[in-house]
Amino acid sequence: MRVLVAGANGQVGQHVVRLLAEKGHEVRAMIRDKDQAPTLRELGGEPVVADLEGEVAHTVEGCDAVIFSAGGGPGSGAEKKETIDRQGAVKLVEAARKHGTRRYVMVSAMGAADPEAGSEAMQPYLHAKAQADETLQESGLDYTIVRPGSLTDEAGTGTVEAAPSLGKRGEIPREDVARAIVATLEKENTFSKTFEVLSGDTPIEEALDSL
Ligand X SMILES: NC(=O)c1ccc[n+]([C@@H]2O[C@H](COP(=O)([O-])OP(=O)(O)OC[C@H]3O[C@@H](n4cnc5c(N)ncnc54)[C@H](OP(=O)(O)O)[C@@H]3O)[C@@H](O)[C@H]2O)c1
**Shortest approach of ligand X to residue 111 CB, angstroms?**
8
Contacting residue, 37, 46, 49, 51, with ligand X by CB under 6 A = 51
Determine if 17 is a binding residue for ligand X (CB under 6 A): no
Determine if 142 is a binding residue for ligand X (CB under 6 A): no
Q: Contact, 65 vs 103, CB < 8 A?
A: yes
- Can you tell me the distance from the alpha carbon of 73 to that of 161, in angstroms, rounded to the nearest whole number? 25
- Can you tell me the distance from the alpha carbon of 54 to that of 39, in angstroms, rounded to the nearest whole number? 23
**Shortest approach of ligand X to residue 42 CB, angstroms?**
15
Question: What is the number of residues in the chain?
Answer: 211
CB atoms within 10 A of CB 17: 33
How many chain residues interact with ligand X (CB under 6 A)?
23
Determine if 71 is a binding residue for ligand X (CB under 6 A): yes
User: What DSSP string runs through 5-41?
Assistant: EETTTSHHHHHHHHHHHHTT-EEEEEES-GGGHHHHH
**Shortest approach of ligand X to residue 138 CB, angstroms?**
20
**Shortest approach of ligand X to residue 84 CB, angstroms?**
5
- Can you tell me the distance from the alpha carbon of 6 to that of 72, in angstroms, rounded to the nearest whole number? 12
Of 71-79, 95-103, 155-163, 179-187, the window that binds ligand X (rule: CB under 6 A) is: 71-79
Of 67-75, 116-124, 159-167, 190-198, the window that binds ligand X (rule: CB under 6 A) is: 67-75
Contacting residue, 21, 40, 67, 70, with ligand X by CB under 6 A = 70
Closest listed residue to residue 190, CA positions, set 165, 163, 171: 163
Q: How far is C-alpha 192 from the geometric centre of its chain's CA atoms?
A: 15
> Which residue numbers are catalytic?
125
Contacting residue, 109, 113, 132, 183, with ligand X by CB under 6 A = 109
With a CB cutoff of 8 Å and minimum separation 6, the contacts of 19 are 178, 179, 182
Determine if 151 is a binding residue for ligand X (CB under 6 A): yes
**Shortest approach of ligand X to residue 90 CB, angstroms?**
13
Binding site for ligand X (CB under 6 A): 7, 9-13, 32-33, 51-53, 69-73, 84, 107, 109, 148, 150-151, 174
